[in-house]
Amino acid sequence: MRPELSADTARTSRSALLALRDVHTHIGAYHILHGVDLVVPRGQLTMLLGRNGAGKTTTLRTIMGLWHPSEGSVEFDGRPIGELATPQIAALGIAYVPETMGIFSDLTVKENMLLAARSAKRAEQMDTARLEWIFKLFPAVEKFWNHPAGKLSGGQKQMLAVSRAIVEPRELLIIDEPSKGLAPAIINNMIDAFAELKRSGVTILLVEQNIHFAERLGDTVAVMDNGRVVHAGGMAEFAADEALQQSLLGLAL
Ligand SMILES: Nc1ncnc2c1ncn2[C@@H]1O[C@H](COP(=O)(O)OP(=O)(O)OP(=O)(O)O)[C@@H](O)[C@H]1O
Ligand SMILES: [Mg+2]
Protein backbone atom coordinates (compact mmCIF):
# COMPACT_ATOMS: atom_id res chain seq x y z
CA MET A 1 0.00 0.00 0.00
CA ARG A 2 1.26 3.49 -0.78
CA PRO A 3 1.70 5.31 2.55
CA GLU A 4 0.73 8.72 1.16
CA LEU A 5 -2.56 7.21 -0.04
CA SER A 6 -3.55 5.88 3.39
CA ALA A 7 -2.57 9.16 5.07
CA ASP A 8 -4.81 10.92 2.60
CA THR A 9 -7.72 8.58 3.31
CA ALA A 10 -7.33 9.17 7.06
CA ARG A 11 -7.38 12.91 6.52
CA THR A 12 -10.56 12.70 4.45
CA SER A 13 -12.41 10.67 7.07
CA ARG A 14 -11.36 13.06 9.86
CA SER A 15 -12.57 16.09 7.95
CA ALA A 16 -15.91 14.53 6.94
CA LEU A 17 -18.57 15.04 9.60
CA LEU A 18 -21.18 13.20 7.54
CA ALA A 19 -20.58 10.65 4.80
CA LEU A 20 -23.04 8.72 2.67
CA ARG A 21 -21.66 5.87 0.62
CA ASP A 22 -23.60 4.14 -2.13
CA VAL A 23 -26.92 4.86 -0.39
CA HIS A 24 -30.04 3.34 -1.95
CA THR A 25 -33.47 4.27 -0.61
CA HIS A 26 -36.78 2.66 -1.48
CA ILE A 27 -40.10 4.30 -0.67
CA GLY A 28 -42.60 1.48 -0.81
CA ALA A 29 -42.17 -0.11 -4.22
CA TYR A 30 -40.26 2.87 -5.62
CA HIS A 31 -36.49 2.88 -5.85
CA ILE A 32 -35.70 6.59 -5.28
CA LEU A 33 -32.00 6.87 -4.38
CA HIS A 34 -29.66 4.90 -6.62
CA GLY A 35 -26.33 4.95 -4.82
CA VAL A 36 -25.80 8.40 -3.29
CA ASP A 37 -22.20 9.31 -2.38
CA LEU A 38 -22.05 12.51 -0.36
CA VAL A 39 -19.42 13.95 1.97
CA VAL A 40 -20.16 16.92 4.25
CA PRO A 41 -16.85 18.36 5.47
CA ARG A 42 -16.67 19.50 9.09
CA GLY A 43 -17.12 23.26 9.65
CA GLN A 44 -18.20 23.95 6.07
CA LEU A 45 -21.45 24.77 4.35
CA THR A 46 -22.34 22.17 1.75
CA MET A 47 -24.96 22.99 -0.88
CA LEU A 48 -27.06 20.16 -2.26
CA LEU A 49 -28.43 21.22 -5.63
CA GLY A 50 -30.45 19.51 -8.33
CA ARG A 51 -33.56 19.72 -10.43
CA ASN A 52 -37.02 19.06 -8.99
CA GLY A 53 -37.43 15.40 -8.16
CA ALA A 54 -33.66 14.71 -8.21
CA GLY A 55 -33.82 13.14 -4.72
CA LYS A 56 -32.56 15.98 -2.47
CA THR A 57 -35.34 15.79 0.14
CA THR A 58 -35.22 11.99 0.09
CA THR A 59 -31.48 12.18 0.82
CA LEU A 60 -32.08 14.47 3.82
CA ARG A 61 -34.89 12.25 5.10
CA THR A 62 -32.64 9.21 4.76
CA ILE A 63 -29.90 10.95 6.79
CA MET A 64 -32.47 11.70 9.51
CA GLY A 65 -33.77 8.12 9.66
CA LEU A 66 -37.20 9.06 8.27
CA TRP A 67 -36.38 6.57 5.52
CA HIS A 68 -33.79 3.84 6.01
CA PRO A 69 -31.26 2.96 3.32
CA SER A 70 -31.88 -0.42 1.72
CA GLU A 71 -28.19 -0.52 0.79
CA GLY A 72 -25.07 1.52 1.55
CA SER A 73 -23.93 3.40 4.66
CA VAL A 74 -24.56 6.70 6.44
CA GLU A 75 -21.84 7.73 8.90
CA PHE A 76 -21.92 10.68 11.29
CA ASP A 77 -18.63 11.51 12.97
CA GLY A 78 -17.31 8.09 11.95
CA ARG A 79 -20.27 6.24 13.44
CA PRO A 80 -22.85 4.31 11.36
CA ILE A 81 -26.33 5.83 11.83
CA GLY A 82 -28.27 4.25 8.95
CA GLU A 83 -30.15 1.88 11.26
CA LEU A 84 -30.92 4.40 14.01
CA ALA A 85 -34.35 5.91 14.68
CA THR A 86 -34.88 9.64 14.10
CA PRO A 87 -34.83 10.70 17.81
CA GLN A 88 -31.51 8.87 18.29
CA ILE A 89 -30.06 10.61 15.25
CA ALA A 90 -31.26 14.01 16.50
CA ALA A 91 -29.76 13.28 19.92
CA LEU A 92 -26.31 12.93 18.31
CA GLY A 93 -26.46 16.67 17.54
CA ILE A 94 -28.15 16.83 14.16
CA ALA A 95 -30.98 19.30 13.61
CA TYR A 96 -33.29 19.07 10.61
CA VAL A 97 -35.57 21.77 9.22
CA PRO A 98 -37.91 20.08 6.71
CA GLU A 99 -39.50 21.81 3.70
CA THR A 100 -42.72 22.05 5.72
CA MET A 101 -40.78 23.77 8.55
CA GLY A 102 -42.49 21.75 11.33
CA ILE A 103 -43.62 24.67 13.46
CA PHE A 104 -46.82 24.67 15.55
CA SER A 105 -49.19 27.40 14.30
CA ASP A 106 -51.41 27.50 17.39
CA LEU A 107 -48.51 27.89 19.80
CA THR A 108 -46.63 31.13 20.38
CA VAL A 109 -43.14 31.71 19.05
CA LYS A 110 -41.86 31.30 22.61
CA GLU A 111 -43.67 27.96 23.04
CA ASN A 112 -42.31 26.77 19.70
CA MET A 113 -38.79 27.60 20.84
CA LEU A 114 -39.33 25.96 24.22
CA LEU A 115 -40.52 22.71 22.62
CA ALA A 116 -37.34 22.62 20.56
CA ALA A 117 -35.10 23.15 23.61
CA ARG A 118 -34.72 19.69 25.05
CA SER A 119 -32.99 20.81 28.23
CA ALA A 120 -35.53 23.50 29.22
CA LYS A 121 -39.03 22.98 30.62
CA ARG A 122 -39.80 26.66 31.10
CA ALA A 123 -38.81 29.71 29.07
CA GLU A 124 -36.63 30.97 31.95
CA GLN A 125 -34.52 27.82 31.67
CA MET A 126 -33.53 28.52 28.07
CA ASP A 127 -29.94 29.66 27.55
CA THR A 128 -30.38 33.45 27.55
CA ALA A 129 -27.05 34.23 25.88
CA ARG A 130 -27.98 31.88 23.07
CA LEU A 131 -31.46 33.41 22.78
CA GLU A 132 -29.92 36.88 22.53
CA TRP A 133 -27.69 35.60 19.73
CA ILE A 134 -30.74 34.13 17.94
CA PHE A 135 -32.66 37.41 18.38
CA LYS A 136 -29.77 39.22 16.69
CA LEU A 137 -29.77 36.73 13.82
CA PHE A 138 -33.56 36.79 13.45
CA PRO A 139 -35.11 39.91 15.06
CA ALA A 140 -38.63 38.70 14.09
CA VAL A 141 -38.33 35.88 16.62
CA GLU A 142 -37.95 38.40 19.44
CA LYS A 143 -40.55 40.79 18.02
CA PHE A 144 -43.26 38.10 17.82
CA TRP A 145 -42.17 36.18 20.93
CA ASN A 146 -45.67 36.07 22.46
CA HIS A 147 -47.62 35.85 19.20
CA PRO A 148 -49.06 32.65 17.71
CA ALA A 149 -46.60 31.30 15.14
CA GLY A 150 -49.46 30.89 12.64
CA LYS A 151 -49.65 34.69 12.38
CA LEU A 152 -46.08 35.04 11.09
CA SER A 153 -45.33 35.67 7.42
CA GLY A 154 -43.70 32.93 5.33
CA GLY A 155 -40.23 34.42 5.83
CA GLN A 156 -40.73 34.86 9.56
CA LYS A 157 -41.92 31.25 9.88
CA GLN A 158 -38.81 30.12 8.04
CA MET A 159 -36.68 32.15 10.47
CA LEU A 160 -38.50 30.62 13.43
CA ALA A 161 -37.92 27.15 11.99
CA VAL A 162 -34.18 27.79 11.73
CA SER A 163 -34.15 29.37 15.20
CA ARG A 164 -35.73 26.25 16.65
CA ALA A 165 -33.01 24.16 15.04
CA ILE A 166 -30.27 26.22 16.73
CA VAL A 167 -31.92 26.83 20.12
CA GLU A 168 -29.31 24.41 21.50
CA PRO A 169 -25.80 23.87 20.14
CA ARG A 170 -25.74 21.37 17.27
CA GLU A 171 -22.92 19.90 15.30
CA LEU A 172 -24.81 19.58 12.04
CA LEU A 173 -27.68 21.62 10.71
CA ILE A 174 -29.67 20.19 7.80
CA ILE A 175 -32.10 22.56 6.10
CA ASP A 176 -34.39 21.91 3.15
CA GLU A 177 -34.86 25.03 0.98
CA PRO A 178 -34.83 27.88 3.50
CA SER A 179 -35.40 30.49 0.78
CA LYS A 180 -38.46 28.83 -0.76
CA GLY A 181 -41.13 31.37 -1.60
CA LEU A 182 -39.31 34.29 0.05
CA ALA A 183 -38.97 37.81 -1.34
CA PRO A 184 -35.43 38.88 -2.38
CA ALA A 185 -35.00 41.25 0.60
CA ILE A 186 -35.87 38.46 3.04
CA ILE A 187 -33.53 36.10 1.20
CA ASN A 188 -30.71 38.59 1.77
CA ASN A 189 -31.48 38.64 5.52
CA MET A 190 -31.43 34.87 5.49
CA ILE A 191 -28.07 34.82 3.70
CA ASP A 192 -26.59 37.14 6.34
CA ALA A 193 -27.94 34.94 9.13
CA PHE A 194 -26.46 31.80 7.57
CA ALA A 195 -23.12 33.54 7.06
CA GLU A 196 -23.12 34.34 10.79
CA LEU A 197 -24.10 30.74 11.62
CA LYS A 198 -21.18 29.55 9.51
CA ARG A 199 -18.83 31.81 11.45
CA SER A 200 -20.07 30.20 14.67
CA GLY A 201 -18.46 26.98 13.43
CA VAL A 202 -21.54 24.80 12.88
CA THR A 203 -21.48 22.41 9.91
CA ILE A 204 -24.40 22.98 7.53
CA LEU A 205 -26.00 20.94 4.76
CA LEU A 206 -28.44 23.05 2.72
CA VAL A 207 -30.77 22.15 -0.10
CA GLU A 208 -31.32 25.20 -2.25
CA GLN A 209 -32.91 26.14 -5.55
CA ASN A 210 -31.96 29.79 -5.23
CA ILE A 211 -28.71 29.99 -7.13
CA HIS A 212 -27.71 33.35 -5.65
CA PHE A 213 -28.13 31.90 -2.17
CA ALA A 214 -26.05 28.85 -3.09
CA GLU A 215 -23.25 30.86 -4.62
CA ARG A 216 -23.00 33.34 -1.75
CA LEU A 217 -22.87 30.76 1.04
CA GLY A 218 -21.60 27.45 -0.28
CA ASP A 219 -18.10 26.17 0.42
CA THR A 220 -18.70 22.84 -1.25
CA VAL A 221 -21.41 21.67 -3.60
CA ALA A 222 -23.01 18.39 -4.56
CA VAL A 223 -25.41 18.18 -7.47
CA MET A 224 -28.00 15.40 -7.67
CA ASP A 225 -29.80 13.97 -10.64
CA ASN A 226 -31.98 10.88 -10.83
CA GLY A 227 -31.24 9.74 -7.29
CA ARG A 228 -27.46 10.09 -7.49
CA VAL A 229 -24.80 12.72 -6.82
CA VAL A 230 -23.50 13.51 -10.29
CA HIS A 231 -21.04 16.25 -9.34
CA ALA A 232 -19.18 17.17 -6.14
CA GLY A 233 -16.52 19.80 -5.56
CA GLY A 234 -15.83 23.38 -4.53
CA MET A 235 -18.64 25.95 -4.84
CA ALA A 236 -16.36 28.63 -6.31
CA GLU A 237 -15.23 26.33 -9.15
CA PHE A 238 -18.82 25.29 -9.81
CA ALA A 239 -20.01 28.91 -9.78
CA ALA A 240 -17.37 29.78 -12.39
CA ASP A 241 -18.27 26.92 -14.75
CA GLU A 242 -21.41 27.93 -16.65
CA ALA A 243 -21.28 25.00 -19.03
CA LEU A 244 -21.26 22.57 -16.10
CA GLN A 245 -24.19 24.38 -14.46
CA GLN A 246 -26.12 24.27 -17.74
CA SER A 247 -25.56 20.57 -18.17
CA LEU A 248 -26.37 19.64 -14.54
CA LEU A 249 -29.11 22.11 -13.62
CA GLY A 250 -30.37 23.33 -16.99
CA LEU A 251 -29.49 26.90 -15.98
CA ALA A 252 -26.45 28.99 -15.19
CA LEU A 253 -25.52 30.87 -12.02
N1 LIG B 1 -43.43 9.50 -0.30
C2 LIG B 1 -43.11 9.26 -1.57
N3 LIG B 1 -43.70 8.27 -2.29
C4 LIG B 1 -43.36 8.00 -3.56
N5 LIG B 1 -42.46 8.70 -4.26
C6 LIG B 1 -41.84 9.70 -3.62
C7 LIG B 1 -42.13 10.05 -2.27
N8 LIG B 1 -41.34 11.09 -1.91
C9 LIG B 1 -40.63 11.39 -3.01
N10 LIG B 1 -40.91 10.56 -4.02
C11 LIG B 1 -40.33 10.62 -5.37
O12 LIG B 1 -38.91 10.56 -5.25
C13 LIG B 1 -38.29 11.41 -6.19
C14 LIG B 1 -37.37 12.36 -5.48
O15 LIG B 1 -38.15 13.23 -4.68
P16 LIG B 1 -37.50 14.30 -3.70
O17 LIG B 1 -38.60 14.90 -2.94
O18 LIG B 1 -36.39 13.66 -2.95
O19 LIG B 1 -36.89 15.33 -4.76
P20 LIG B 1 -36.26 16.76 -4.54
O21 LIG B 1 -34.94 16.76 -5.21
O22 LIG B 1 -36.32 17.14 -3.11
O23 LIG B 1 -37.25 17.68 -5.40
P24 LIG B 1 -37.78 19.20 -5.16
O25 LIG B 1 -36.69 20.09 -5.66
O26 LIG B 1 -38.99 19.27 -6.02
O27 LIG B 1 -38.08 19.37 -3.71
C28 LIG B 1 -39.42 12.09 -6.97
O29 LIG B 1 -39.59 11.41 -8.18
C30 LIG B 1 -40.61 11.92 -6.07
O31 LIG B 1 -41.80 11.84 -6.82
MG1 LIG C 1 -37.33 18.63 -2.04
The pLDDT value recorded for residue 58 is 98
Question: Could you tell me which of 172, 180, 168, 179 has the C-alpha nearest to residue 113?
Answer: 168
The answer, yes or no, to whether residue 62 has pLDDT greater than 70, is yes
Q: Give the chain's domain count.
A: 2
Q: pLDDT of 169-180, one tens digit each? A: 899 999 998 888
- CA of 12 from ligand 1 middle (Å) equals 30
Are 89 and 6 contained in the same domain? yes
At 1, the amino acid letter reads M
Are 69 and 13 contained in the same domain? yes
Ligand 1 atom having least distance to the Cα of 50: 21
**How far lies 21's CA from each of 51, 116, 153, 230, 233, in Å?**
21, 30, 39, 13, 16
The answer, yes or no, to whether residue 86 has pLDDT greater than 60, is yes
Q: What is the mean pLDDT of residues 63-78?
A: 97
Per the structure, the complete domain to which residue 151 belongs is given by: 102-168
Residue to substitute in 26, 27, 61 for testing ligand 1 pocket (most ligand atoms within 8 angstroms of CB): 27
Q: What is the mean pLDDT of residues 109-135?
A: 88
Residue to substitute in 20, 23, 24, 30 for testing ligand 1 pocket (most ligand atoms within 8 angstroms of CB): 30
Q: pLDDT of 17-40, one tens digit each? A: 999 999 999 999 999 999 999 999
- CA of 146 from ligand 2 middle (Å) equals 31
User: Which residues line the pocket of ligand 1, CB cutoff 6 A?
Assistant: 27, 30, 32, 50, 52-58
Are 30 and 130 contained in the same domain? no
Confidence of residue 106 (pLDDT cuts 50, 70, 90): very high
The pLDDT value recorded for residue 164 is 93
**Residue 134 DSSP code:** H
Confidence of residue 14 (pLDDT cuts 50, 70, 90): low
Are 14 and 87 contained in the same domain? yes
Q: What is the mean pLDDT of residues 146-166?
A: 92
Q: What length does the chain have?
A: 253
Please report, for the chain, how many H helices and E strands are present, in that order.
11, 10
Are 179 and 218 contained in the same domain? yes
At 245, the amino acid letter reads Q
- CA of 207 from ligand 2 middle (Å) equals 8
Are 121 and 79 contained in the same domain? no
Nearest ligand to the CA of 48 is: 1
The pLDDT value recorded for residue 3 is 41
- CA of 172 from ligand 1 middle (Å) equals 23
Residue-averaged pLDDT of the chain: 89
Identify the domain boundary among 115, 145, 168: 168
Residue whose Cα lies nearest atom 29 of ligand 1: it is: 53
In the chain, what percentage of residues exceed pLDDT 90? 63
CA 136 – CA 133 distance, rounded (Å): 5
For residue 83, with 0-12 CB atoms within 10 Å meaning exposed, 13-18 middle and 19 or more buried, which class applies? Answer: exposed
The answer, yes or no, to whether residue 212 has pLDDT greater than 90, is no
What is this structure's pTM?
A: 0.90
The pLDDT value recorded for residue 4 is 43
Residue 18 or 153, more confident: 18
Are 192 and 250 contained in the same domain? yes
Q: What is the mean pLDDT of residues 219-236?
A: 96
Identify the domain boundary among 168, 194, 221: 168
CATH of the domain at 240: 3.40.50.300
The pLDDT value recorded for residue 183 is 81
Are 61 and 178 contained in the same domain? yes
Q: What is the mean pLDDT of residues 85-104?
A: 92
Are 9 and 119 contained in the same domain? no
Ligand 1 atom having least distance to the Cα of 51: 25
Identify the domain boundary among 117, 147, 168: 168
The pLDDT value recorded for residue 180 is 81
Nearest ligand to the CA of 36 is: 1
**Residue 23 DSSP code:** E
Ligand 1 atom having least distance to the Cα of 99: 27
